[in-house]
Amino acid sequence: QLLRELLKNPGWFAEFLQKFIADPAFLTDQPTSVFDNEIRLHRSPDRSFTILAYLWDDRNLCLVHDHNAWGIIGALLHPLREVKYRQLDDGQAEGVADLEQVSDLVFQAGEVGIVLPLNKGIHQTGAASDRPAISLGVYGRSIRQGSIHFFDPAEKKVSRAQPRTLFRKVLALRALASLGEMLGQTLLTPPLLESLPDDLVREFREYSAR
């Protein structure tokens, strides 16, 4: 219910996007992640839970992966797609995972779902339409040390995820523009764009024109 309250009005998220785009200190404080579309919004003082935001390109699904903890996910802006999988093998063979798809769901803005830990929570998520999407996730304390795993269902392979070079500002710019359209406001202001490096603005405009 608390997550649903956060999802009701996405306007509050504009501040986080603006910080992420234009505040170097905010970006520096972001932890390294295996997902280059992830933004950490809050971590409880006792580290019992973390709130993360994800910026999704249109109709783009992330790699199939598992989770180290319980989670609750929800759509903040535009529909979110979630494809769930079940592991058929016992997981004892190194680098091997035989997965079966069990569901393919679409969450409308404001709707939530649950994510189970370990191999009970294997799934992939992403934008369900041709609009950039934003989702929120609340995740509990890790019950398994180390990284999550990425799966390749077609090849029946699994590997430990490694952090990638982060480049999330283009996604943040697109999400801020889309959020402004929904709110009837101009959140991507000329002063904000003028404060950014030329190569970032050029990449954003070229990407958005595709």
pTM of full prediction above 0.85: no
User: In the prediction, which pLDDT does 54 show?
Assistant: 96
What's phi and psi for 174, nearest 5 deg? -65, -40
Mean pLDDT of 107-114: 96
Is the model's pLDDT at 164 over the cut of 60?
no
- pLDDT tens digit sequence for 2-25: 999 999 999 999 999 999 888 889
32-57 tens-digit pLDDT: 788 889 999 999 999 899 999 999 98
Distance between CA atoms of 131 and 112, rounded to whole angstroms?
19
> How high does pLDDT run on average in the chain?
89
* Mean pLDDT score, 101-121: 96
Instruction: State yes or no: pLDDT of 75 exceeds 90.
Output: yes
**Region 124-141 average pLDDT:** 94
Q: Which residues of 145-160 are buried (b: 16+ CB within 10 A; e: fewer)?
A: eeebbbbebeeeebee
The pLDDT assigned to 108 comes to 96
